[in-house]
């Protein structure tokens, strides 16, 4: 039986669930290409950044998850080229290039942080999209308290004890709430020269509302709860500059001001993967303002029925950039493909079932919007807890997460407070190296021979020649 080669780009929600949805097909061979070795549960990144969870708890190995799925293979590498006519995907890791041919392509490369044209802000205000981001932020947050303890001048101490979170969406609210809990609860007895309860935590947004996607009532509840926790909520205010010692802002009246702050967190704006541009250039697809690919109702790329785009990279019917859209989209794409392979009518249109959304504010407090129901407080928090445990992948991950949550929510501790100088310094050094000077894998003699692996490469050559 001839196998149908599916290449999946990305090991996030779309890529992983799409691959798993094809597991029973003996006539399909899936190659998942991703730039990290793990599947990342992004909704809990803020807990890694604030010392509640270890990075391993939210990023199980993709290879391990797919170990029993015999028709799936995992390739590590950043996709640097997609050729829709030749039907190949080229990926690269440490200078080693791999070309993988496909019959069907599923692209789920997600989205990165957007600094709205000010990418230089990233050096001083990291976003929160990856494990590296979360560990860097952990280093900056806990490191700031350490520096404040050492400070000799009051202004310097205040700068270290001022935390600015930009973006009042779910991630910003969760971060601000957790930093407030750290300052007021967790760290309160640990220092001698400073009172951590004096820390200023500022949640700032250019929009006039907190959690706008949750509606006025829940947004209002979240704002009230944050204010009670000591978070200063500053709305309608734009960030116009970020540097190592502070942040420049412009108020709604157009006045400029500055907040002296050592630790800034960027939780505003997303930009879809640059692979979207590559797909648009080779098809009839257009991109929206966030760089997302405008797909057909069946999630295929306009003019390319053999390419699906799902999750944060895809634009369809104003669907939000949330995990369920990626999961359901990927499962739909797999179903669509299976029907095509079986010569059966394919389900015509992807329709999203909204299971609701929620955001935590502090321990025991969250907001939830499920169907027509809107609620906040402890009940919403319990629901948040249950759903996150269900969707965390891996038994080990669930058990360790539950234990860590008991430590942090019932007690007042944080078991993942380890920070190292490398979390910040090494990353900044790597950022400053031009891509051509980045380390490459050493070339060994045998590498000059035509490589037998990956198997799929040889098949591509045969196909191209034929």
Ligand X SMILES: Cc1cc2nc3c(=O)[nH]c(=O)nc-3n(C[C@H](O)[C@H](O)[C@H](O)COP(=O)(O)OP(=O)(O)OC[C@H]3O[C@@H](n4cnc5c(N)ncnc54)[C@H](O)[C@@H]3O)c2cc1C
322 touches ligand X by CB under 6 A: yes
User: Nearest-CA neighbor of 276 among 256, 250, 302?
Assistant: 302
Q: From residue 128 to residue 167, what is the string marking binding to ligand X with x (rule CB under 6 A)? A: xx--------------------------------------
* Residue with nearest beta carbon to ligand X: 12
33 touches ligand X by CB under 6 A: yes
Residues 355-414 within binding reach of ligand X (CB under 6 A): none
Nearer to ligand X, 98 or 196 (CB): 98
Nearer to ligand X, 161 or 295 (CB): 295
Q: Which residues are catalytic?
A: 174
Q: Which of 3, 36, 118, 282 binds ligand X (CB under 6 A)?
A: 36
CB of 440 to ligand X, least distance (A): 17
* Stretch touching ligand X by CB under 6 A, among 30-38, 298-306, 373-381, 431-439: 30-38
Structural Rg of the chain based on CA atoms: 23
CB of 179 to ligand X, least distance (A): 14
43 touches ligand X by CB under 6 A: yes
CB of 269 to ligand X, least distance (A): 11
79 touches ligand X by CB under 6 A: yes
CB of 326 to ligand X, least distance (A): 3
Q: Which of 114, 311, 336, 362 binds ligand X (CB under 6 A)?
A: 311
183 touches ligand X by CB under 6 A: no
Q: Which of 6, 7, 8, 9 binds ligand X (CB under 6 A)?
A: 9
321 touches ligand X by CB under 6 A: yes
CB of 345 to ligand X, least distance (A): 27
CB of 171 to ligand X, least distance (A): 4
Residues that bind ligand X (CB under 6 A): 9-15, 33-36, 42-43, 45, 78-79, 108-110, 128-129, 170-171, 273, 275, 311-313, 321-324, 326
């Amino acid at each position: 039986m001839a196998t149908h080669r599916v290449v999946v780009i990305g090991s996030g929600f779309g890529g992983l669930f799409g691959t798993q949805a094809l597991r029973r097909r003996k006539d399909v061979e899936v190659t998942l290409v991703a730039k990290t070795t793990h599947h990342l549960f992004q909704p809990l990144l803020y807990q890694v950044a604030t010392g509640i969870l270890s990075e391993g708890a939210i990023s199980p190995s993709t290879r391990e998850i797919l170990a029993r799925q015999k028709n799936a293979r995992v390739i590590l590498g950043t996709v640097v080229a997609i050729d829709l006519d030749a039907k190949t995907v080229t990926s690269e890791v440490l200078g080693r290039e791999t070309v993988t041919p496909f019959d069907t392509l599923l692209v789920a490369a997600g989205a990165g942080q957007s600094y709205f044209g000010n990418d230089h802000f990233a050096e001083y205000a990291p976003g929160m999209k990856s494990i590296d981001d979360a560990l860097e932020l952990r280093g900056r947050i806990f490191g700031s308290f350490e520096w404040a303890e050492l400070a000799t001048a009051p202004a310097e101490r205040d700068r270290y004890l001022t935390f600015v979170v930009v973006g009042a969406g779910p991630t910003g609210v969760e971060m601000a709430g957790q930093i407030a809990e750290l300052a007021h609860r967790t760290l309160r007895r640990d220092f001698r020269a400073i009172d951590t309860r004096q820390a200023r935590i500022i949640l700032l947004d250019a929009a006039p509302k907190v959690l706008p996607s949750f509606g006025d009532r829940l947004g209002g509840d979240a704002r009230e709860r944050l204010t009670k926790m000591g978070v200063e909520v500053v709305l309608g205010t734009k960030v116009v500059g970020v540097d190592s010692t502070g942040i420049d802002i412009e108020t709604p009246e157009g006045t400029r001001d500055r907040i002296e702050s050592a630790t800034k967190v960027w939780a505003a704006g997303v930009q879809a993967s640059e692979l979207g541009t590559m797909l648009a250039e080779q098809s009839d697809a257009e991109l929206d303002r966030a760089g997302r690919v405008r797909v057909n109702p069946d999630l295929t790329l306009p003019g390319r029925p053999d390419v699906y785009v799902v999750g944060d990279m895809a634009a369809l019917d104003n669907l939000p950039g949330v995990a369920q859209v990626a999961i359901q989209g990927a499962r739909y794409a797999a179903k669509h493909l299976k029907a095509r392979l079986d010569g059966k009518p394919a389900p015509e249109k992807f329709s999203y079932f909204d299971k609701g959304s929620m955001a935590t504010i502090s321990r025991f407090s969250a907001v939830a919007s499920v169907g027509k129901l809107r609620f906040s407080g402890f009940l919403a928090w319990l629901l948040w807890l249950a759903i996150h445990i269900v969707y965390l992948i891996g038994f080990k991950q669930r058990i360790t997460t539950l234990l860590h949550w008991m430590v942090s929510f019932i007690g007042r501790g944080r078991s993942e407070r380890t920070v190292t100088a490398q979390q910040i310094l090494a990353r900044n050094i790597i950022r400053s190296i031009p891509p051509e000077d980045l380390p490459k894998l050493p070339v060994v003699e045998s590498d000059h021979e035509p490589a037998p692996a990956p198997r799929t490469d040889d098949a591509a050559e045969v196909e191209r020649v034929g």
